Structure 1
Amino acid sequence: MKKILILILLLLNQYFYSQQYIKIMTYNIHDYTPYNPTPDNPTRLDWDNPALKYVINYVKPDILVCQEVRDLASVNQLMNYVLDNNYAVADFVESENMNSVLFYKEDKFISLGNFIHPAETRPFNEFPVVHRTTNDTLIIFSVHLKANSITSDNSENIRRRGVAADSIRKRTSQLPSNKNFIILGDFNTLLGSEPAIQKLIDKSYKGYVLDPLDAIGEWGDNPDYAFTHTMYAENLTVRFDMILISQAVKDPGGIEYVENSYTVVGNDGKHFGKSINYGLNPYQRVLADSLISASDHLPVYAIFKFTGTTNIDELNNRFTFHLNQNYPNPFNSETTISYSISYPSFIKLKVYDLLGNEITTLVDDYKSAGNYQIKFNAEKFSLSSGIYFYKLVAENFSETRVMVYIK
């Protein structure tokens, strides 16, 4: 009875606080690193943090996804010098010097982790988040496809972007057709006819995405597409940075893209082949100058409406059982796995390798309602460095998370 009453209260809360408008921004901040010393200035601060802070405060995103973040020290610098205290950061898993990082307003969202998927040249990230009020779940894929060469032929780079798109579609095609997801980031695409773009928008099988601007075309060096261009801030000529949406996000109900909200920050559509601060009045130049100082890319944002139409069974499961991300992650030797249950249940918690082979059973017992923690020590099982999974099963609920072991 108590469980039913609490569930009713959750649903009432969802009803009264439905239709939350959320601003999501993607921003390539160009190899952001705490310090980039030179022989002449060994302690030189790499980026103009005040300019970056100005841009982000101007937009005020609820979720910010950054590409080209060098390492954990860079994440900490962003948290300490650029973002305000309302932001939290999703699990950071360093894969290379061009990492994607998701920051979110902690009072609005719960992060469900950061899952790294291998792809040609650079991996892509999967960031699932849950809206605290509506309980809607959105999967955000952050990509940074193979860059171009300024001085040579780019046919090989175009091919590699296409191969990476195959990996992305392999993952998105595994999602249910009604799953809300978006793909955002730096696509490095010179033209809309590139294989990478065409594969992502291919509607012949599920997992495709749509362009909210409906502007897939030959945008490179084309003034007709000037309103889409994000690169370079000092010479706008091409569309690299985008937010693409799934059919479920396009359709009414659940999470919805708000029409005409897609914005390339600082691009008024009148600066093709020019610097974005060219010919502006002093008031307009503050933002434009900050954008130029902060990065060579322009950020893109869009607004989404969270309507709170989560399936009741999904809401019930999410409320009654929850598996947290292990900490620390990545870990050396030992990590802590925590979970919570809201009523007495029989619980199983197991660890698997990348091939699905069971390594150990951590819990196989009847548990009272409460919060639990358990240690997992990889050395006890002589494990190699790599990716492992842990899975919680209770009644009709199951949840799996990824952990990374580094010797």
Structure 2
Amino acid sequence: MGARENIIRHSVPADHSCLFTSVAYLCQGTSGEVELRTAGRKLREVCAQAVLADTDPASRAIMLGHDSVEAYVQWIRNETHWGGEPEVLMLAEHFETELVIVSCESLSLLRYAEGGKNGTAYLLYTGQHYDPLPNAAATQSDAGVACRAFEAAAAGVETRDKAAISLAQLHNLEAARRAKERRVQRLKCSGCGSLCDDAAAFQAHCGEVEHGDDFAYDCEQVEVVVGADEALPEGNVDLNAPEVFTFYNASSANTLSFSMRYDGAPFQLGGETFATLEAYWRGPAVSEASLDEREQRLADALRAQYRPSSEGGAALLAALAGTAQRMVVCVDVDPWLGMQAAGGISSGQNMFGKALMTLRDEAAAA
């Protein structure tokens, strides 16, 4: 038999009750979303009653980290609270079943109620979620299954333990792969399903592609996953890439930053003094200007603020030089000024970031 043929992973909802539903699935044979939710509530109550029955309630409360056993009971009955090690132990004793927690974080096994007469049940713990690891033979048919644990006298414990650790390793590999995935927003044509980069691209698509008579020229926004090894669509930037320097335009005014709100480098422009770049940007010189004029006025304001003859300007220039050849990206809700940062992948014109990179090149050439 292969290393993982007799133990498999079964997923339960990540709804704060995953420990209880996992144990119900393994030790009671419970199946079905509604049934598992009900069983989870009952197992919370099993823990509550076990604590209330303790002959030394004061010590039990201290061990559980609560002021009283009554406080614990109220806490565990609240379905927004997770179960943990105390509940694992209580449930193992209740079912007289050895519960083995397979930790994805430490790649180790933690055994509770070892040697339980009703067998051994494995639970995968990712650090945030529990999933049951049932006996594969007991999952072939959910009908009439009373228990999905391994029998107490079943051979091959060492093999099952290794297989359980292997499942934890597989989880970690998959989690690492997902962590590298990036996501972009696209418009999906309701007529043919084509993906378009933006509204302008969708409009062009509607004019170029023939659709059915009932096509209503509508679309929906969808999220597209881009793998770690795939190139990003044109116009998108991965803010987590090492070659990208990202700053937020809404950051604190008191700490040295490229934010327009930074107040450590006042400057003069057009006969006026501005405490921050934001003060200039929100004034009539910019608000009444065209987009082409805004680009030039942004460049002029940056040269004035980043002048090397002032202490604040020199500090900003030094910080800008420290970005080396990295792409400078301003994250801002204004799609002209900066970029949006949803999902770690951004799109937008980033004119502020581009102006800073131009200034950086000018300073390096001076």
TM-score range, shorter chain: under 0.3
Tell me which protein shows more strand as a share of its residues. 1
State the TM-score, normalizing by the size of structure 1: 0.22
Q: Which has the larger radius of gyration?
A: 2
> Could you say which structure has the greater relative contact order, defined with CA pairs below 8 angstroms and 6 or more residues apart?
1
